[in-house]
């Protein structure tokens, strides 16, 4: 039973890490595209350095902060080492990132600086980047707490042990051996 639980846990960790890596790849690809577009749109203008600083802040505070601490924590628990993160970045929970005010969002600053007239490619790229960030943050969140899995295993064991008793009582009642 313990081997089965460990096997399921390991499969769950592998699946979560795979989803995280795919989401991270998508987000980095979109961030690279945004960097290229911002460089083309704002090069030679006064907003160029502000846009690049916003992208740097997004990468440092949002992309690296939560992801690296999560990956280091997972690798430490898999190697039976301590649960402390070995990264210089602090752990950032997805709920804190999503609940940030728009004024604190570096992507919002880029949208504000580049929004002149009809929304263009930068707007679409920021939208795609936010969708990729949502997939990454969803992959970072824990799906089912461990206590829920333990409770499901206990419920399954109770059902498996009580099933023969219920079948026996039902069969005896149907045969007329037990009065109602």
Question: CB atoms < 10 A from the CB of 137, how many?
Answer: 21
DSSP string, 38-106: HHHHHTTSTTHHHHHHHHHHIIIIIIIHHHHHHHHHHHHHHTT--SS--SSSPP--HHHHHTS-GGG-H
> Is the four-CA dihedral 119, 125, 128, 134 of positive or negative sign?
negative
* Range 121-141 average pLDDT: 85
Residue 4 has pLDDT above 60, yes or no: yes
Per-chain mean pLDDT for the chain: 75
Query: What pLDDT does 87 receive?
Result: 38
- Residue 1: count of CB within 10 angstroms of its CB: 7
Residue appearing with tokens 């460990």: 6
> Could you give the CA distance from residue 82 to residue 12 in angstroms, rounded to a whole number?
20
The pair of three-digit structure tokens given for residue 165, joined into one six-digit string: 């008793």
Percent of the chain with pLDDT over 90: 7
Asked if residue 154 has pLDDT above 90, the reply is yes
């Amino acid at each position: 039973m313990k081997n089965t639980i460990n096997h399921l846990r390991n499969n769950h960790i592998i699946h979560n890490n795979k989803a995280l890596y795919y989401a991270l790849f998508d987000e980095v690809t979109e961030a690279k595209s945004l960097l290229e577009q911002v460089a083309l749109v704002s090069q030679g203008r006064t907003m160029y350095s502000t846009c690049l600083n916003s992208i740097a802040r997004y990468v440092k505070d949002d992309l690296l902060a939560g992801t690296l601490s999560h990956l280091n924590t997972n690798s430490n628990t898999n190697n039976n080492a301590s649960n402390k993160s070995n990264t210089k970045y602090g752990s950032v929970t997805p709920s804190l990132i999503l609940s940030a005010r728009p004024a604190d969002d570096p992507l919002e600053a880029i949208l504000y600086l580049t929004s002149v007239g009809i929304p263009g490619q930068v707007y679409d790229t920021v939208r795609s980047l936010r969708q990729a960030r949502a997939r990454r943050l969803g992959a970072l969140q824990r799906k089912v707490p461990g206590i829920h899995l333990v409770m499901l295993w206990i419920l399954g064991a109770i059902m498996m042990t009580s099933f023969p008793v219920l079948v026996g009582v039902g069969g005896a009642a149907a045969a007329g051996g037990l009065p109602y």
